[in-house]
Amino acid sequence: MSEASDAPPSVRTAADRLWDAARTGVPCAPVRDLIDAEDVDAAYAVQQLNVRRLVEERGWRICGRKIGLTSVAVQEQLGVDRPDFGALFAELCDRSGGIVPIDALLQPKVEAEVALVLGASLDLGSHTLDDVVAATDHAVAALEVVDSRIEGWDITFVDTVADNASAGRVVLGTEPIALSGIDLVGLEMTMEINGAGASSGTGAACLGNPLLAAVWLADTMSAAGTPLRAGDIVMTGALGPMAAVRDGDEVIARMGALGEVRARFATMGGRDG
């Protein structure tokens, strides 16, 4: 889809529905009534149309990609056997210890992840673990604030794909750590909200290894003709269950050798939409 006008009416209508939900802050109905439940290509076309709008109309900058549905349990829940991906925007990336504007979100939930920052491109077509390690400059502990423009998180696979893989915001840790010597599979994560345990898990929960998730993404983006580039941030997927957050919540995730990442959610008087 090179231009919005080239998109089928169903794709444009679905994109408009999600766009309006983000703009108004009012969640919308699922889009699976507009695109076929098996038409993943159409769902990504919806995603691409709204990503293009953010870039062309608002001047936002894509700074990487997020991987979703890396948990086998979540895949089984949605009846799929693969992850999905969405775009990350520099304007929606926060630093650990800062404030996340909760009023810019609709139905936020938070999950702890390993974020990779690439030092080289991944454009080989087919990639290995060694390729991903060699291309990675460093890793940081991260929080992904997932969000859904669809009311009540009533989503199927095509709904979340169309909705930019339910992307919201990202909070990045401030301690860059080289991958050498880190066991990402056995990496233990605990996440607290207001001092109470909210989630826990290990790197193995993310497709068996966060680096395997990155391999999948590298191959997928190469096949699409938009390979990952040096400087990109890759959010590799959740290490444990996501948890809802509310105004005033303080979140901290501790991730072993990667250190910790924290954020406070507060009303800031504005919307991203």
- The mean pLDDT value of the chain amounts to 94
We report the CATH number of the domain holding residue 148 as 3.90.850.10
Q: What percent of the chain has pLDDT over 70?
A: 96
Tell me, yes or no, whether 176 lies in a domain: yes
CA–CA separation, 111 and 243 (whole Å): 7
Return the pLDDT at 41: 96
Judge whether residue 4 has pLDDT over 60.
no
Tell me, yes or no, whether 26 lies in a domain: no
From the list 255, 252, 263, 244, the residue with the least C-alpha distance to 92 is 263
pLDDT (tens digit, 9 = 90+) per residue, 170-213?
Answer: 999 999 999 998 999 999 999 999 999 999 999 999 999 999 99
DSSP structure string for 93-143 = EEETTSEEEGGG-SS-EEEEEEEEEESS-B-SSS--HHHHHHHEEEEEEEE
- Using CB atoms within 10 Å of the CB of residue 270, give its burial: 0 to 12 exposed, 13 to 18 middle, 19+ buried: exposed
Judge whether residue 6 has pLDDT over 90.
no
Tell me, yes or no, whether 110 lies in a domain: yes
Tell me, yes or no, whether 216 lies in a domain: yes
Tell me, yes or no, whether 37 lies in a domain: no
Q: What is the dihedral of CA 57, 60, 61, 65, to 10 degrees?
A: -100
Judge whether residue 77 has pLDDT over 80.
no
- Number of independent structural domains in the chain: 1
The whole-model pTM stands at 0.94
- HEC-encoded secondary structure of 22-86: HHHCCCECCCCCCCCCCCHHHHHHHHHHHHHHHHHHHCCCEEEEEEECCCHHHHHHHCCCCCEEE
CB-based contacts of 105: which residues, under 8 Å, 6+ apart? Answer: 145, 147, 168, 169, 272
Range(s) of the domain holding residue 182: 62-266
Tell me, yes or no, whether 23 lies in a domain: no
pLDDT (tens digit, 9 = 90+) per residue, 123-161?
Answer: 999 999 999 999 999 999 999 999 999 999 999 999 999
Distance separating the N- and C-terminal Cα atoms of the chain = 23
pLDDT tier at 47, thresholds 50, 70, 90: very high
